[in-house]
Structure formats: C-alpha cells, structure tokens
Amino acid sequence: MPQAGQRVLVVEDDPKTSEILRVYLEKGGYQVAAAHDGPAGVSQARELRPDLVVLDLMLPGLSGTEVCRILRQESDVPIIMLTALSTLADKLEGLDLGADDYVAKPFSPSELVARVRAVLRRTSSRDQNKNPVLIKCGDVALDLEQCSVTRGDHQVRLTPTEFKVLAVLMREPGRVFSRSQLIEKAMGCDYEGMDRTMDVHILNLRRKIEWDANRPEHILTVYGMGYKFCG
C-alpha cells in the first residue's frame, strides 16, 4: 500500500488518458495532479514537489525528454516515461535522461499503477539508505550528527523539538507540511497535544533563525495549508 499522502503528477496531453490514469491512481490510494503540456508539467513539479511523475514523451510546448532533463537537473523525483514509442533506442534515451521506468502505449492502467508502486517502493528504500549528516539551505545549516544549527556564522540554540521540526522542513525544502504532518514527523504518532502547538514552535524557530521574524525568508506560511522551508 502507498504511504499516506503520496502524490503523483501525471503529465499527459490526451485528456482521456489523463483521466483514466487519475481514476486508477486514486483508486490505488495516491493523490493525483495533472498537467497537459510540457511547461505546465515543469511548473507543477516545482510547485507541488510530487513523490513521482508519470511523464508522456510526446507533449506540446516542451517535449517529455526536455521535461525529464529539466526535472533531473533540479531533483531526483522518480519519473516513469509514458509513450507510444517502444523501440529499444527510445527506451534507452528515456532511461539515459534519468527516467526510472518506461511504459509503452497501449498499456494496462492496472499495470501502470503497479509500476508506480514498485518505483516508489524502490526509491523509498534507496532514500532510507541515504543519511546526510549536513543539510544546508541558504544561510541555514543543520548538522544531524552534532544536533546543531548555524545561521551564517552564528550558532543557533534550539530545543530538541525545535530541532526536529526544522530538520523535517529542511529535508524537503519547498514542500508544504500541514501542522498535523509536522507533529507526526517531529513528535511521533502518539503525540496528543493540539495542532496549534506547532504554531508556537514555528514562531520560536523564526525568532531564532530569521534575520527578521516578522518578515521570514526561510520558514514561510502557506495560508490554509501549513508551512514550508525556502532556502
């Protein structure tokens, strides 16, 4: 089963195919967003930071290969190529660009969902083996081994909870976390406090790491949704 809240971006210019994929992926337990041309695919990938991208090779505005090249330069989001081209050369081109898998049209929607699940499981295992010691975003650096934070040349003193909250945000810069997601990831599923407690931790973090807490540049509020970290 997919992890709760895993998001899949489908970049497909054919409305019928896009809708079929949305229905099957949502039945599979995923949150689904759609883009219908190359530029929109790049824009939504940057904005939504999906867990996986299903990317058609033949797109208007910007080809799937160009979209894949751009995304690979900016992130390691898993990508499944989707195309009517099925020669070995076409497959190799997609994989050489950094795609994680390749599905040729016509395809079974159920098979595509199974491929999505397999790629996410594989990349999740890969990510768990990554254990970065230092995370740096802008002028803020977080050392997981030393449990220390610096802003520029200044050491920042954080409480253990503040450190955990900041680590969650900095591990995925740009991703929006709701209060409940931050609580679960930083404090554990058994935490029984109020969601608004997170607002206090965020306020304290801003006072400590922002140059001006009233005009934050790093820990930003996304109204109606939660918080994100910007480097």
Are both 220 and 122 inside the same structural domain? no
Query: Each residue of 5-49: pLDDT tens digit?
Result: 689 999 999 999 999 999 999 999 999 999 999 999 999 999 999
CA–CA gap between residue 54 and residue 64 (Å, rounded): 10
* Band of pLDDT at residue 209, cut at 50, 70 and 90: very high
Q: Give me the pLDDT at residue 107, please.
A: 86
| Pair (199, 119) in one structural domain | no
- Residue 114 sits in the same domain as residue 157: no
CB burial of residue 7 (10 Å; 0-12, 13-18, 19+): middle
Distance between CA atoms of residues 219 and 165, nearest Å: 11
* 69 and 125 together in one domain: yes
Examine the pLDDT at 192 and tell me if it is beyond 80.
no
Provide long-range contacts, Cβ within 8 A and 24+ apart, for 106-113.
107/82, 109/20, 109/21, 109/23, 109/24, 110/24, 112/21, 112/24, 112/54, 112/80, 112/82, 113/24, 113/25, 113/27, 113/28
pLDDT of 102 reads 80
**Where are the strands (E) in 66-188, listed by range?**
79-83, 101-104, 134-137, 140-143, 148-151, 154-156
Q: Using the 3D structure, point to which of 88, 112, 129 is the last residue of a domain.
A: 129
Q: What is the pLDDT of residues 210-229, one digit of tens each?
A: 999 999 999 999 998 999 99
Confidence (pLDDT) at 156: 92
Amino acid, res. 222: V
**Which tokens go with 114?**
């199974």
Residue 157 domain flag: yes
Q: Which two three-digit tokens encode residue 124?
A: 């999740």
Give me 127's structure tokens.
Answer: 């990510």
Predicted TM-score (pTM) of the model is: 0.55
Q: Are residues 92 and 109 in the same domain?
A: yes
pLDDT, residue 83, reads: 78
Residue 82 lies in a domain: yes
Q: Name the domain boundary from 63, 98, 129.
A: 129
Write the pLDDT tens digit of every residue in 43-67. Answer: 999 999 999 999 998 899 999 989 9
List pLDDT tens digits, range 72-129: 888 878 889 887 765 556 656 666 667 778 888 888 999 899 989 988 887 665 555 4
Same domain, 122 and 139: no
Tokens 């797109």 belong to residue = 59
For residue 225, give its domain range.
134-229
Q: Does residue 65 sit in the same domain as residue 162? A: no
Residue 198 — very low, low, confident or very high, per pLDDT cuts 50/70/90?
A: confident
Cα 165–174–114 angle (5° rounding)? 100
Helix (H) or strand (E) holding 18: helix 15-27
For the CA atoms of 159, 5, 174, 188, the dihedral, rounded to the nearest 10 degrees, stands at 10
CATH at residue 11: 3.40.50.2300
CATH number of the domain bearing residue 211: 1.10.10.10
- Cα(150)–Cα(209) distance, integer angstroms: 8
Higher pLDDT, 130 or 184: 184
In 3D space, the residue among 214, 217, 212, 195 whose CA is nearest the CA of residue 182 turns out to be 195
Q: Indicate whether 79 and 138 sit together in one domain.
A: no
pLDDT of 161 over the 60 cut: yes
